[in-house]
A and B are shown apart, each in its own frame.
Chain A
């Protein structure tokens, strides 16, 4: 009997939960805020679904009922992607060691 592809996706999902578990425990507590902002940014990879939906419109009707939701989702996800990565970068730039100090 053939294995349903769903099972493979489920396997990836469950293994990723385990990876997430161990990786996140190793994150230093002082970086928990950047952790949240970066997870925010990466979860916006949902934009791939939005792009697929948005590109489904035909040339006569670029904005049909389905694609319009895709377009709005693109804006939302893009705010998150740019905002999330940039604000993370801004925060991480501030973390400095003692010896880096100029004063």
Chain B
């Protein structure tokens, strides 16, 4: 099967750089505006796209993504809209991996199988469900795998060695290391702790390890890119959408391009 996620990480690795993973909330500020923002992410050089599914109660998110969720829902964004956005993206970008990220309740509302099949049909490659840990994943995870979609798991600073196998059980696509014990978008972890954590995770899995939470500047992205397989940037992009609304595509592209070039140069600088 054509594993777009594996291909994207493999291509980045072959170019001796980390993959750039970018997040944006679907339907923010309106469902009609998201396509242009997604295109801007790709044009700016993102390797993997995370499309946030808005939820009324985004418990793990900081203020920026909370507000994006409310804007999207306020504009009437539905699950059908999100799937439609994914489908349109897939038609325009046949090779760029697309990951849906969100909370359990909207994903399981019509049943895990329904969601897995609808996501597959829309061309989705992976799903990150923030509030279904492996211990509760006896329905959604199997349904996703059955449909050929990677269930992407999160590891955190509180995930100790004893617990890591449970997190990795059934994980696919890549492992998302949440580098801060906290909510999205607020502070960044110390570089040293990230390096140690990535080394520990990579010892436990062959999956690529992407690091996120609090990554804002090209310098921060480059620092992570030296040690991880992927760098995830979310809140900073969501804030650009908040600032520029329907006209955000241009500034999003410029910003993502700045991250992309910093990441591309990161390991070369290290070698030099």
Task: Please say whether chains A and B are actual partners in one complex.
Answer: no
Chain B contact residues, CB within 8 Å of chain A: none
Chain A contact residues, CB within 8 Å of chain B: none
